[in-house]
Structure 1
Amino acid sequence: MKTHLKRLARSVCLALALGTGGTAVAANGDIVGGALPAQELTARTLYHFLLAEIAGARGEIGLSAQLYLDLARSTRDPRIARRATEIAMYSRNVQLAIQAAHIWSEVAPESEEARRLLASIAGSGEARDSIDLDAVQIQLARVLAQSSERLPQNLLGLNRTLARIPDKQAAKEIVQRLTEPYLEVPEAHVARAQAAMIAESPMEALAAADSALALRPGWEPGVLLKAQILQQAGAGAEAMRQLEAEVKRAPESRSLRQAYARALVGNQRFAEARAEFRHLLVGAPEDAELHYAVGLLSLQLGEASEAESSFLRALAAGHPQADIIRLHLGQIADGRGEGERARQWFADVSDEGHRTEAIIRSAQSLAKEGRLDEARTLLQAEADEPETQRRLVLAEVHLLRDANQPGEALLVIDDALRETPDDTDLLYESAMLAERLDRIDLMETRLRRIIELDPEHAHAHNALGYSLADRNLRLDEAHELIERALELAPDDPFILDSLGWVHFRRGDKLAALEHLERAYSIRQDAEIAAHLGEVLWALERKDAARRIFDEALSAHPDNRLLNDTALRLGVR
């Protein structure tokens, strides 16, 4: 009740202020009116004010917006018009917002905010049918023409104002026309570059960025924008070279060095990127984001101790993603065989969004120590969300599969399928388990059910085709299934491996070699290596086959298929 009375009091104060003249200035410094109208405070005006405020307090925002719009029409007061616009926007009533913003713009012609807001509303997708884009352009042209010292800022805000226009090409053309009188100002070219990027015209964007830098060489916003354009256009190496040159020119610029470090990451030059982030840390030793970046890069480089040290510093500095850091620290400890310490890190994860992942990793840690029953108990806890329950089931299945208990894993997944019989992920996992158990009929039934539910499930097509080919069954059908899988997922190395293998089973060794070499060039997987080695051996290219087997066995000494194939062929 007290809050409601305070609102009414504020309304009365505003109503009393209507009777005064003068100039009103908004909180952000924008003038909302010149000489305010000498509005007499009538009982009707006060009544409308109170009614509008009470409606808003009761949650009847649409009614409040309509009442304020009526009041803005009758008073022609810019403060009322502004309030009407804001409430109409809050209520998501675009037409009321447009009408209120029109009044505000008319009664406060010098207000940049009023014109910008009107242009933004008029350019929204919902308003396209009611206002021509010419109206948007006219309002923004007025803003720019009256900007004076705020011209650069307003030029840079053009694309933000036009963001809700669905036709990005039309928005770009508006920016082109609006900036035409201001091409001596670098920000005009930046606005053009941004609009071209949004409209997916990278060459046009790049030319505009170059024009901005020609007017102001070395200007950091222009340099950074150009690098961004190059990266989005797929020219990451060129962006990196240009940023490197700019960092040498201005070595103290933190923004340039950060952009260069990110470009190095994008080009997978992790060691150099880490050196740049470390350099930035010299000037900001408590920067949590920089410590986190060094930690991630150290992890990528396989330097667990350095990663751990950096993650701990990021955590101490208050990094906002504390639970993700705890997950990383747990994985590092687990990798060292420090299971108890790892599980303590996982237990400290508190955010609901990461809690499931922490539970799964704790279970994996227990299973590594041979404590499979404890791991399963942890995963069998009831979950509130179906998706969480599904993740926990799949995690338990994977632990059982890795423990060479495919029969028990299949029982777990079959129990879950009784609740959700058409879950394609569960069906796929169960099919793979059935294949390991040599229950080919069950495998085929479930893979065909997946294809029925999701005709574009590439891995279901591939799994069925490969299983048939590996057993020398229905090779024509197997070939068709694998070809369909490759159509759905071109360049997938495992599907290419299947295609090579079915060609080999059909006696076409050269076609098999072509696909298997391509698959192995994409991914040096143990099973792809086993197939490639066998085809090379069959083609009497035994030295090449030995090289493949030696390389793969060095990287995957425990892979069963690789070892069995090498022994069968007499390679070892």
Structure 2
Amino acid sequence: MTQSRLQFLQRSKASKEIMKSIKNTLLCTALVLAFGVPALAATDLPSGKSKSTGREFKRSAPETIAPRFDDQEYKELTVQVVYQVLLAEVALKRGKAEFASQAYADLAVRTRDPAILARATEVAGYARRYDLILDLARLWLQVEPASKRAQQVLVGVMIMSNQFDGLAPQLIQMLEADKEALPGNLLALNRMFARSQDRQAVLQLIIKVCAPFLDRPEAHYAIAVAASAAGDHTRALVETRRAIELRPDWEAVALLEAQLIAQKSSTEAIASLQRFVEHHPQAREVQLYLARALVGEKRYGEAKAQFERLLLANPNNPDVVFPVAILALQENDRTLAETQLKHLVTLDIPDKSAAYFYLGQLAEEGKRADEALAAYRQVGQGEHYLPAQIRSAGILNNQGKLDEARRQLRDAAAQNPSSRVQLSIAEAALLRDAKQTETALALLDQELGTQPEQPELLYESALLAEKLGRLEIMESRLRKLLELQPENAQAYNALGYAFADRNIRLPEARQLIEKALQLAPNDPFILDSMAWVLYRQSDLEGALALLQRALALRSDPEIAAHTGEVLWMLGRKDEAQRTLREAHKKDPANEVLKEAIRRFLP
């Protein structure tokens, strides 16, 4: 066979059609997605006539593994090409990707056939031979310079292997080739380099790639995103503002600018959003972001007003309705909150549990027990399920249905084993409130039998033991808890306060509570405990200072009772009586407070 005849066979149409019938999924999917070029499907493969055989053909789908030849096509191919293709495909099918990739690479280099080069790069991808893909893709572009797929493969493997040198011209060429998709492709640039750790290198590359397109706002946006990722705050802001100049109503750029400004000043970021909304009152996404930013800064009144404006334009948008309801709760506007939550559960949203939970709370606070129970029953699995079950049990207990309340908690524990500890503790709390402290402790002891080192069970059972006067049990469990959690401030505090309350082991009590204060210096209950130690040690002024600080942090009836007692002992009886009366109005059922009132109020 002559050399010219062999070259003809290597370039033959039959060869190309056969190779293009092989599985043809593009290796570099990230790049394809970025530029919107879909992988070939069976319907994308055109039919026609083979120039070498004159026969009708229809290209097979990408799932085809091995090429199929008819008699005429065999005549148009060398035996070696056919043999090597079949050998590589059989090897690939048997999991020998490395052998297959090497066989195809050898064949591609010898034939320089675009179809074989395409298949060779794909098989090299299965073998993770990115070095081979790079060489093959470069050869493919030499043979077929206009091939978009060859460009995509080359760019994709360069990105995957972080070889940025020489990449910019290839990307620019691809961007220029599709003017219609240019804006979207510019915006997709940063996604292509999401896995790269060298953010500075990515920034420099994107600056080069965007240089021919700086009349487009998307180019400046792409540079801004890359600059922000690279920590170049100044460049990011400059590029963002250039993008806004070119496209003043672009919400995405306004949001990016606010995010960049917020790194230095949340107040200035909010101001920038407010200016944008003032000029573009229909910018819903920016309005939503602004409202949430106001919430983040605890500017609840302004946030509520912003959400209410959004609500007028978007009355059925859950992203607006729910925040309005939560802000109304924050502002203690129960009527608005309940109205919006009831509307929210009529909308098509995937999970209504949060809405039903808050509706249950509102009904419970409004003394509408049956309505609250009905709402809590609608709360499904998730973060609100456990508190809904516990609150439901509390309502039943208040109705005198302790057995039913306990049964509900036990049923919930059976269905949710991961929440068994919390539900058991809740059941013990019901029993304690019902003056069945012995039964409550027995319940937690039973749970500790299967989980002897469970921290919450140790803590709660220790408190119950203390209430029953079983100090040895209390102390042993709290000591065990401190072995497991040496930084548990509440355990130190509970043990120290138990001693101080009984006026025993005061130096040790003080040491324990001082340790608790080191761990949680602004905890009002630990401050109260420390004050009680000082009171027992006759430091009344020191005790009062700590109690007043604790009461300012939290209006708690027991802290108020202790404050009243210390004031009384200091001879400031009018202040003591006033403190106790004010606390009694808020918590008339508290036992510690009632005892203080019995002792100090006439």
TM-score, normalised by the number of residues in structure 1: 0.76
Match of 1:284 in 2: 314
On the 8 A contact 2:189/2:206 being kept in 1, the answer is no
For 1:42-70, what per-residue CA distance to the aligned partner results, in whole angstroms no more than 9, with x for missing partners?
Answer: 35435644664x67xxxxxxx48657755
User: Offset of 1:141 from its aligned partner?
Assistant: 4.4
Identity of aligned residues (%): 35
Match of 1:419 in 2: 450
User: In 1, distance between residues paired with 2:574 and 2:139?
Assistant: 87
User: In 1, distance between residues paired with 2:554 and 2:129?
Assistant: 56
User: In 2, distance between residues paired with 1:365 and 1:438?
Assistant: 29
For 1:109-129, what per-residue CA distance to the aligned partner results, in whole angstroms no more than 9, with x for missing partners?
Answer: 76676567546644xxxxxxx
For 1:123-165, what per-residue CA distance to the aligned partner results, in whole angstroms no more than 9, with x for missing partners?
Answer: xxxxxxxxxxxx3543764565444467776665565455445
For 1:519-540, what per-residue CA distance to the aligned partner results, in whole angstroms no more than 9, with x for missing partners?
Answer: 3333333333333444455555
Q: 1:207 to 1:103 in 2, by over 3 A?
A: closer
User: Offset of 1:317 from its aligned partner?
Assistant: 1.7
Do structure 1's residue 209 and structure 2's residue 209 form an aligned pair? no
Task: Spell out the pairing of 1:250-329 with structure 2 (5 A cutoff).
Answer: 250-329=280-359
SS for the counterpart of 1:341 is helix
Task: Spell out the pairing of 1:22-101 with structure 2 (5 A cutoff).
Answer: 29-30=36-37, 42-46=82-86, 48-49=88-89, 52=92, 63=95, 69=101, 73=105, 75=108, 77-78=117-118, 81=121, 85=125, 96=128, 98-99=130-131
Match of 1:173 in 2: 200
* Letter of the structure 2 residue corresponding to residue 216 of structure 1: I
For 1:430-486, what per-residue CA distance to the aligned partner results, in whole angstroms no more than 9, with x for missing partners?
Answer: 011112222222111110010011212221112112222222222222222222223
User: Offset of 1:301 from its aligned partner?
Assistant: 3.0
On the 8 A contact 1:281/1:291 being kept in 2, the answer is yes
User: In 1, distance between residues paired with 2:407 and 2:446?
Assistant: 16
User: Offset of 1:240 from its aligned partner?
Assistant: 2.7
User: In 2, distance between residues paired with 1:389 and 1:365?
Assistant: 20
Match of 1:389 in 2: 420
User: In 2, distance between residues paired with 1:103 and 1:261?
Assistant: 53
User: In 2, distance between residues paired with 1:410 and 1:468?
Assistant: 20
Q: 1:160 to 1:116 in 2, by over 3 A?
A: farther
Do structure 1's residue 373 and structure 2's residue 403 form an aligned pair? yes
User: In 2, distance between residues paired with 1:327 and 1:341?
Assistant: 12
User: Offset of 1:237 from its aligned partner?
Assistant: 3.7
User: In 2, distance between residues paired with 1:550 and 1:71?
Assistant: 93
Match of 1:362 in 2: 392
For 1:96-120, what per-residue CA distance to the aligned partner results, in whole angstroms no more than 9, with x for missing partners?
Answer: 2745764676467766765675466
On the 8 A contact 1:175/1:191 being kept in 2, the answer is no
**Aligned Cα root-mean-square deviation (Å):** 4.1
Answer with 1 or 2: which has the greater Rg: 2
Match of 1:3 in 2: none
On the 8 A contact 1:461/1:482 being kept in 2, the answer is yes
Match of 1:455 in 2: 486
User: Offset of 1:346 from its aligned partner?
Assistant: 3.4
Match of 1:497 in 2: 528
Match of 2:361 in 1: 331
For 1:183-214, what per-residue CA distance to the aligned partner results, in whole angstroms no more than 9, with x for missing partners?
Answer: 86532552245315xxxx6xx53773255225
Task: Spell out the pairing of 1:402-481 with structure 2 (5 A cutoff).
Answer: 402-481=433-512
Q: 1:365 to 1:19 in 2, by over 3 A?
A: closer
SS for the counterpart of 2:348 is coil
User: Offset of 1:398 from its aligned partner?
Assistant: 2.2
User: In 1, distance between residues paired with 2:397 and 2:123?
Assistant: 62
Match of 2:45 in 1: none
SS for the counterpart of 1:456 is coil
Q: Which moved more, 1:422-431 or 1:546-555?
A: 546-555
Q: Which moved more, 1:419-428 or 1:238-247?
A: 238-247
For 1:257-297, what per-residue CA distance to the aligned partner results, in whole angstroms no more than 9, with x for missing partners?
Answer: 11111112212333432332232233333222222222222
Match of 1:529 in 2: 560
User: In 2, distance between residues paired with 1:120 and 1:543?
Assistant: 78
On the 8 A contact 2:547/2:559 being kept in 1, the answer is yes
Q: 1:115 to 1:429 in 2, by over 3 A?
A: farther
User: In 1, distance between residues paired with 2:17 and 2:357?
Assistant: 55
Match of 1:227 in 2: 258
Match of 1:17 in 2: 21
User: In 2, distance between residues paired with 1:368 and 1:316?
Assistant: 31
SS for the counterpart of 2:240 is helix
